[in-house]
């Protein structure tokens, strides 16, 4: 079906029911990003996990999600968006069941990889299906609901996680945070099969499997030794693996150029790779995204393992950050595409100030923590994050030609997830190394966890201070291309 014919055809009468299914599946994926952090201390204790294994519970999902976004987006074009979406929901649901039944930390990490791949299968299809299903005059209203669901997921995740763990349903501990996805996923698959229109695929299109392999090898080879290097005493192979990863990423760039010269499809459009503006923007996205996931891993461990907070108390303590993101989403919507550089700089300033404030609060802790101390700095930082991501994506995408807007937005989401994985690895290295050294010198748990968390938060202060500076290096005003909408950005809380 041609685009012109699709625009002229009467709208699908089931489109709002279809949208509800897409929103439910997207909400399930987004809430999983935020719900896991409050369960990390319970997993660490009940599964006897090492420090690096706890990092992998988050990083394995984020990394698999990042590596799957671009190839599964293309595969959806080939086999059909609806089929790929339903397969993705099915894979995510099955992986959630495997996570909830995992008897060991190793199997849990493996199931998290599958869960990340399932999320990557369904996420690129969601907005693409909505774009085709709704006529132009209804798309703005439909897409606004995706932003609302992302904000609600960020708020509900920490609280729901705490409630499920504290309830000890059927004698279980952390497992229900994953098992809750199973009935929701099954219902979404059945309803999606019955109600979502079948969008035809394009079997003549091809995927870039060599590019997928080179990109995946490169990213994993860089992240793996950063997470595991500390446990092995930073042997020579860890540095060799990082060097190998950088070489593979260079080979990926050359391979994309070769595919472009031959007129063959590329995993990441070579015109984007050659664009200094886009690559600078992708670098800023990676840096920006590296600042959040590790922070809430550290805060959850500080509150629960260091100061005996319950999972629910920990989740409620983190909630002001998510509320700030939700507030910022409404503020950002009123500005549209105006004042983008100023908004990004303001976001960097708010995040730097909020997290620096949080650092000094934690650095001054002795034997008790009052959760009310966390409310103002986390609320300020959350507003900064919400303002920052919306303006940053628009800043980068306005330099992308309209024909490449879909590929550009998909690539930025992949860079965002890669940044998150790197941030988890780097912040985990700082936190767990200092924690081990503190215990080795005889420090008590309160002092050890507080000092380690305060030190690790300097990473965020530096990162967002850098974002504040880099905001002024973006070029002046321009028009954002009218391509595929940018997917809602999940936040860790």
pLDDT in tens, 378-404: 999 999 988 888 788 888 888 777 666
Residue 140: the pLDDT is 67
Residue 403: the pLDDT is 63
Among 245-249, 318-322, 423-427, the range with the most confident prediction by mean pLDDT is 245-249
Tokens, residue 217: 């090898």
**Contacts of residue 266, Cβ cutoff 8 Å, sequence gap at least 6:** 208, 211, 256, 259, 260
**Contacts of residue 63, Cβ cutoff 8 Å, sequence gap at least 6:** 113, 116, 219, 220, 223, 417, 418, 421
Give the Cα separation of 437 and 431 in Å (integer).
10
Residue 477: the pLDDT is 47
Q: What is the mean pLDDT of residues 21-45?
A: 86
Dihedral angle computed from the Cα positions of residues 56, 464, 321 and 398, in that order, rounded to the nearest 10 degrees = -100
**pLDDT of 478 higher than 90:** no
CB atoms within 10 A of CB 307: 18
Q: CA 249 → CA 57, 98, 241, 242, 245, distances in Å?
A: 25, 32, 12, 11, 6
Q: Are 166 and 312 in contact (CB under 8 A)?
A: yes
Q: CA 6 → CA 85, 131, 140, 251, 383, distances in Å?
A: 20, 11, 18, 40, 39
Residue 416: the pLDDT is 87
Statement: 8-206 belongs to CATH 1.20.1250.20: yes
How many Cα atoms sit within 13 Å of 124 on the Cβ side? 32
Among 275-279, 322-326, 359-363, the range with the most confident prediction by mean pLDDT is 359-363
User: Where do the DSSP E strands lie in 63-134?
Assistant: none
Residue 464: the pLDDT is 95
Tokens, residue 223: 């992240």
Residue 406: the pLDDT is 64
Identify the band that residue 247 occupies on the pLDDT scale cut at 50, 70 and 90: very high
Nearest to 108 by CA among 120, 119, 117, 97: 97
Question: 275-493 adopts what CATH topology?
Answer: Growth Hormone; Chain: A; (1.20.1250)
Boundaries of every domain in the chain: 8-206, 208-266, 275-493
Residue 27: the pLDDT is 86
Residue 480: the pLDDT is 43
- For the chain, how many residues are written? 493
Residue 457: the pLDDT is 95
Among 21-35, 147-161, 476-490, the range with the most confident prediction by mean pLDDT is 21-35
Residue 1: the pLDDT is 45
Residue 492: the pLDDT is 52
Assign 3-state DSSP to the chain and report helix, strand, coil percentages, each to 5: 80, 0, 20
Identify the band that residue 7 occupies on the pLDDT scale cut at 50, 70 and 90: very low
Residue 103: the pLDDT is 93
Give the Cα separation of 176 and 32 in Å (integer).
12
Tokens, residue 226: 């950063």
Give the Cα separation of 74 and 64 in Å (integer).
16
Most distant CA pair in the chain, distance: 73
What's the pTM? 0.85
What is the residue-averaged pLDDT of the chain?
86
Q: Which helix (H) or strand (E) holds 160?
A: helix 136-167
Residue 476: the pLDDT is 60
Nearest to 315 by CA among 327, 326, 331, 304: 304
Q: Are 311 and 166 in contact (CB under 8 A)?
A: yes
Of 1-10, 125-134, 163-172, least confident by mean pLDDT is 1-10
Tokens, residue 483: 């391509």
Which has the higher per-residue pLDDT, 104 or 325? 104
Q: Report the b/e string of 339-374 with b at 16+ CB within 10 A.
A: ebbebbbbbbbbbbbbbbbbbebbeebeeebebebb
Which has the higher per-residue pLDDT, 64 or 141? 64
Q: What are phi and psi for residue 21, nearest 5 degrees? A: -65, -45
Residue 237: the pLDDT is 93
**Contacts of residue 465, Cβ cutoff 8 Å, sequence gap at least 6:** 348, 352
Residue 401: the pLDDT is 74
Token match 């973006």: residue?
A: 474
Give the Cα separation of 265 and 287 in Å (integer).
28
């Amino acid at each position: 079906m041609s685009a012109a014919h699709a625009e002229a055809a009467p709208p699908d009468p089931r489109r709002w029911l279809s949208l509800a299914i897409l929103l439910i599946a997207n909400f399930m994926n987004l809430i999983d990003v935020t719900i896991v952090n409050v369960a990390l201390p319970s997993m660490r204790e009940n599964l006897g996990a090492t420090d690096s294994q706890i990092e992998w519970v988050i990083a394995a999902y984020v990394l698999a999600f990042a590596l799957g976004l671009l190839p599964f987006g293309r595969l959806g074009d080939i086999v059909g968006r609806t089929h790929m979406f339903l397969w993705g929901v099915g894979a995510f649901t099955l992986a959630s069941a495997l996570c909830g039944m995992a008897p060991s930390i190793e199997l849990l990490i493996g199931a998290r990889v599958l869960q990340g791949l399932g999320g990557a299968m369904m996420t690129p299809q969601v907005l693409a299906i909505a774009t085709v299903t709704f006529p132009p005059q209804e798309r703005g209203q439909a897409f606004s609901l995706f932003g609302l669901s992302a904000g609600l997921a960020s708020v509900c995740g920490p609280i729901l996680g705490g409630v499920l763990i504290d309830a000890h349903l059927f004698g279980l501990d952390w497992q229900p945070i994953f098992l809750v996805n199973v009935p929701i996923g099954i219902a979404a698959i059945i309803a999606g099969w019955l109600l979502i229109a079948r969008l035809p695929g394009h079997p003549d299109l091809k995927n870039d499997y060599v590019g997928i392999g080179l990109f995946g090898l490169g990213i994993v080879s860089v992240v793996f030794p950063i997470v595991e290097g500390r446990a092995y005493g930073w042997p020579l192979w860890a540095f060799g693996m990082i060097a190998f990863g950088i070489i593979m990423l260079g080979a990926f760039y050359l391979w994309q150029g070769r595919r472009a010269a031959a007129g063959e499809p590329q995993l990441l459009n070579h015109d984007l790779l050659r664009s200094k503006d886009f690559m600078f923007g992708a670098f800023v996205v990676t840096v920006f995204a590296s600042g959040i996931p590790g922070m809430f891993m550290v805060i959850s461990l500080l509150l629960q393992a260091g100061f005996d907070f319950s999972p629910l108390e920990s989740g409620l303590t983190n909630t002001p950050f998510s509320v700030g993101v939700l507030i910022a989403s409404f503020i950002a919507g009123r500005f549209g595409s105006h004042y983008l550089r100023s908004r990004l700089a303001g976001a960097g300033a708010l995040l730097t100030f909020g997290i620096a404030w949080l650092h000094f609060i934690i650095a001054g802790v002795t034997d008790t923590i009052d959760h009310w101390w966390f409310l103002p700095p986390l609320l300020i930082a959350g507003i900064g994050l919400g303002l920052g991501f919306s303006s940053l994506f628009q800043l980068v995408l306005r330099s992308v030609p309209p024909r490449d807007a879909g590929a550009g937005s998909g690539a930025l989401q992949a860079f965002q997830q890669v940044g998150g994985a790197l941030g988890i690895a780097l912040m985990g290295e700082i936190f767990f190394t200092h924690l081990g050294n503190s215990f080795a010198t005889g420090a008590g748990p309160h002092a050890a966890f507080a000092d380690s968390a305060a030190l690790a938060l300097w990473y965020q202060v530096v990162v967002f201070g850098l974002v504040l500076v880099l905001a002024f290096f973006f070029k002046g005003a321009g028009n954002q291309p009218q391509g595929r909408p940018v997917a809602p950005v999940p936040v860790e809380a």
